[in-house]
């Protein structure tokens, strides 16, 4: 009699477990039916290397825009505002994540789904507001971060996808800092008399840390933090330093970029230890692009010092598609095959070079720390729970 009673209890427990498992599986299937397969949204922040056209809508200087020919010619067939002949690193990352290219956040609102992400980047921007003030209406990094803080509530009101689940699986990709060093600090003689490069870089990294903490508080959990590229070897910097460096790389700028990158990698290590529920990866963009520059011919490039689009020494004296020599209309020439060039214009890589960088971010080994983006997508983060109300 006792054995029969325990047998009934055991059967009851098994039935309950099977029922609960069925409910869980049914819920999972229901979510996939209603919301589609689980995906990671991509939110992009930064400067001209990341801008997908935001500055088109911000009434800023033509120097901080790329919404004119021949930009975009290799892929889009028209200028989109990207500083490339086609796609950028972040477009290729979106393809790897199987989401649409993140739309420019500052464009007039049209029918685009923010549950797949957005692009907040603005050419000419920096970690410091004073860096961005060199060009009117450029969006500094702190405003880009502030715009992201609205995402949770917009997802709740404008999207059918669960906001908590989406933010915890979203990828936050950031490329920022070069303009602060090369465009602001190096050009500001009075500032350089009062503060050393090391002190300036430390202050930048402290600002960077605070912005990352703000993104974390707003729900960001997975970060791709890109180091500064070796822009001292870009055509624009080679041209600017002709008298000093004789056409070589600007070593002073590159050394400061490397100092910033070393601190940035340490910051990623620190935040991975302290935030716990968030995961950050650091991308050694400097070495990735430097390898492409130094080994260009082995990788299939015929030119790694001059730009594909421009005029003058290194095709950088006149900007790509620009007319800036008095009243005389001069447009930079365009090479026949951008795929043979590492750099598209004076400071930005071609689509092909950007694809190589994206491939390293997605599946690289030594160039990303502590692991690559493909691995990051598999990391499970706790759902975001907002600590404040709108």
pLDDT tens figures, 154-170: 877 776 667 778 888 99
Q: Which residue out of 47, 51, 91, 345 is catalytically annotated?
A: 345
Residue pLDDT, tens place only, 5-39: 555 444 444 333 433 334 333 433 333 333 344 45
According to the model, what pLDDT value does residue 273 have? 95
- Place 198 in a pLDDT band, splitting at 50, 70 and 90: very high
Q: Which residue out of 48, 122, 229, 306 is catalytically annotated?
A: 48
Maximal C-alpha separation, the chain: 105
For residues 111, 115, 116, 119, the Cα torsion angle rounded to the nearest 10 degrees is 80
Those residues whose C-beta lies under 8 Å from the C-beta of residue 242, and which sit 6 or more positions away, are: 313
- Domain presence at residue 355: yes
In angstroms, the CA 389 to CA 13 distance is 42
- Domain presence at residue 209: yes
Q: Is 90 exceeded by the pLDDT of residue 204? A: yes
Residue pLDDT, tens place only, 99-138: 999 999 999 876 678 889 999 999 999 999 999 887 888 9
Those residues whose C-beta lies under 8 Å from the C-beta of residue 253, and which sit 6 or more positions away, are: 181, 182, 186, 231, 232, 237
- Domain presence at residue 232: yes
Those residues whose C-beta lies under 8 Å from the C-beta of residue 311, and which sit 6 or more positions away, are: 317, 318, 330, 331, 332, 333
In angstroms, the CA 84 to CA 337 distance is 13
CATH of the domain at 271: 3.40.50
- Domain presence at residue 252: yes
> Which two structure tokens, joined as six digits, stand for 142?
């702190």
> Which two structure tokens, joined as six digits, stand for 310?
């421009």
- In order of 6, 24, 211, 242, the CA distances from 49 in angstroms are 68, 43, 19, 24
Tell me which residue of 343, 364, 347, 222 sits closest to 283, measured CA to CA. 364
Strand order in the sheet with 279-283: 117-119, 42-46, 171-175, 222-226, 279-283, 368-369
Tell me which residue of 199, 196, 195, 250 sits closest to 228, measured CA to CA. 250
- Domain presence at residue 306: no
- Domain presence at residue 239: yes
337 noted as active-site residue: no
User: Which of 291-295, 325-329, 343-347 has the lowest average pLDDT?
Assistant: 325-329
Q: Alpha-carbon Rg of the chain, whole angstroms?
A: 24
User: Which of 215-224, 233-242, 312-321, 329-338 has the lowest average pLDDT?
Assistant: 329-338
- Domain presence at residue 326: no
For residues 366, 368, 373, 378, the Cα torsion angle rounded to the nearest 10 degrees is 70
Average pLDDT score, the chain: 86
In angstroms, the CA 272 to CA 277 distance is 8
In angstroms, the CA 199 to CA 155 distance is 40
Question: How many domains does one find in the chain?
Answer: 1
345 noted as active-site residue: yes
- Domain presence at residue 267: yes
According to the model, what pLDDT value does residue 229 have? 97
Tell me which residue of 98, 112, 105, 220 sits closest to 169, measured CA to CA. 220
% pLDDT > 90, the chain:
67
In angstroms, the CA 376 to CA 374 distance is 5
According to the model, what pLDDT value does residue 318 have? 87
Name the residue range of residue 123's domain: 37-286+346-377
Side-chain-facing half-sphere of 203: CA atoms under 13 Å: 11
- Place 59 in a pLDDT band, splitting at 50, 70 and 90: confident
Query: Where on the phi/psi map is residue 65: left (φ > 0), alpha (ψ -120 to 50), or beta?
Result: beta
Q: Which residue out of 39, 211, 216, 348 is catalytically annotated?
A: 348
């Amino acid at each position: 009699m006792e054995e029969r009673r325990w047998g009934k209890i055991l059967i009851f427990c098994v039935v309950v477990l099977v029922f609960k498992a069925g409910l869980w599986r049914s819920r999972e299937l229901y979510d996939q039916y209603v919301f589609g397969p689980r995906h990671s949204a991509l939110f992009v922040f930064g400067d001209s290397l990341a801008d997908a056209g935001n500055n088109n809508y911000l009434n800023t200087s033509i120097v901080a825009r790329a919404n004119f020919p021949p930009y975009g010619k290799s892929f889009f067939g028209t200028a989109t505002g990207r500083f490339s002949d086609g796609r950028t690193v972040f477009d290729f990352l979106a393809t790897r994540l199987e989401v649409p290219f993140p739309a420019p956040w500052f464009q007039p609102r049209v029918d685009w789904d923010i549950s797949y992400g957005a692009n907040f980047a603005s050419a000419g921007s920096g970690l410091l507001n004073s860096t961005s003030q060199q060009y009117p209406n450029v969006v500094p990094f702190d405003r880009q971060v502030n715009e992201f803080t609205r995402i949770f509530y917009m997802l709740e009101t404008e999207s059918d996808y669960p906001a908590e689940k989406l933010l915890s699986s979203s990828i936050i990709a950031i490329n920022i800092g070069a303009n602060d060093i090369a465009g602001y600090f190096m050009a500001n003689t009075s500032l350089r008399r009062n503060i050393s490069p090391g002190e300036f870089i430390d202050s930048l990294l402290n600002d960077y840390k605070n912005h990352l903490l703000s993104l974390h508080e707003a729900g960001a959990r997975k970060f791709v933090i890109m180091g500064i590229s070796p822009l001292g070897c870009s055509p624009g910097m080679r041209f600017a330093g002709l008298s000093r460096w004789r056409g070589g790389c600007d070593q002073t700028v590159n050394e400061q970029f490397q100092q910033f990158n070393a601190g940035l990698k340490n910051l990623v290590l620190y935040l991975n230890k302290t935030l716990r529920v968030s995961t950050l990866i650091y991308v050694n963009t400097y070495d990735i692009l430097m390898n492409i520059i130094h080994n260009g011919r082995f990788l299939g490039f015929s030119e790694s010092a001059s730009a594909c689009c421009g005029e003058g020494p290194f095709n950088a004296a006149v900007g790509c598609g620009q007319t800036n020599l008095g009243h005389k209309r001069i447009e930079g020439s365009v090479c026949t095959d951008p795929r043979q060039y590492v750099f598209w214009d004076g400071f930005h890589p071609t689509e092909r070079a950007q694809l190589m960088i994206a491939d390293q971010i997605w599946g690289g080994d030594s160039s990303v720390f502590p692991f690559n983006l493909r691995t990051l997508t598999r990391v499970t983060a706790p759902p975001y729970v907002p600590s404040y109300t709108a």
